[in-house]
Amino acid sequence: MDSDSLENEAVPDEKTAIPNTEPCAAVDPAPLQQEPIDQEGLEDDEIQTQIDLLKDFLERLEVTRPEVVRVTQARHALWRFGRALREGHNGPDRYHQSEVRRHIAQFWSHSWRGNNTVSKILLLLVVYNGLPAVLVGSVAFVSVRIGLQPEFELRPIVPNAAAWSMLAGVVLSSLTLLTWPSRRRVFLDRICIHQKDERLKAEGMLNLAALLKYSQSLLVCWDPSYMQRMWCTVELAAYLKCHPEGPLIIRLSVGALNTGLAPTRLLMLLFSKTFLQRSSAV
């Protein structure tokens, strides 16, 4: 090859673009197709497992710890005309009025949805304070009667001695009914279950059925809404399972008191077994 041909041959410019000659990147194989996970099915299985565990726990009727078996004195529940019952779950916490015990003398089972709270309170006052009220009223009547009309005197010292004696008996009997400090240890959920601490409240509700195992008797404050409440039926069923021969006391709550008939209905509550109680051994 001569020099002229070399000179005539074009020399590539440095700025001329050089095609990219890098090797092609390796292509990843297509990923394996995975079947979608049924999240709803897993959640349903988990919920069913939790329900089964809860069911097994409730069937054993065992408390989570001994400290949940608590009682309160009846006077705390009935003080100031059953203030703890009238306040419901929105009132101040009264957990400090309860104490730990190995057994519960009487478990109070009632419906919070009933509209006859006043009748329920009167019923409980009669159950726990009725006998002392009758005794105090009778003693007051006899004492005042003898004081105003001594024996062997034809005329009483004060006119209308019988009326004054009756008034003294009624007043003292009513005061005793409302203020007698009954110390019988009972279970009332409003006091024996913490109402402010959510953890303690949940624990108390979880052990509610198991507490019937430690109860020596069950007092049912019956009203039309009782069997419509789930917790009421659970309490009744748990007690019958643990104490098939135990004392089951059913006391009937009358309707709301009418102002004009209040004295008559109060006497019915005090002295009528038809409206007061139906006790049966199941």
Q: What is the pLDDT of residues 149-188, one digit of tens each?
A: 665 455 556 667 788 889 999 999 999 999 999 999 999 9
What DSSP designation does 12 have?
Answer: P
Calpha distance 93→83 (Å, rounded) = 12
Q: What's the token pair of residue 25?
A: 């990147």
CA separation (Å) from 222 to 68, 87, 162, 216, 264? 26, 20, 39, 19, 21
Q: What's the token pair of residue 110?
A: 């009632």
Tell me the whole-structure pTM to 2 decimals.
0.69
Calpha distance 10→13 (Å, rounded) = 9
Q: What is the pLDDT of residues 91-142, one digit of tens each?
A: 788 999 999 999 999 999 998 776 678 888 999 999 999 999 999 999 999 9
Confidence of residue 35 (pLDDT cuts 50, 70, 90): low
Q: Which residues pair with 1 in a beta bridge?
A: none
How far is C-alpha 52 from the chain's CA centre? Answer: 23
Which run of H or E residues covers position 248?
strand 247-252
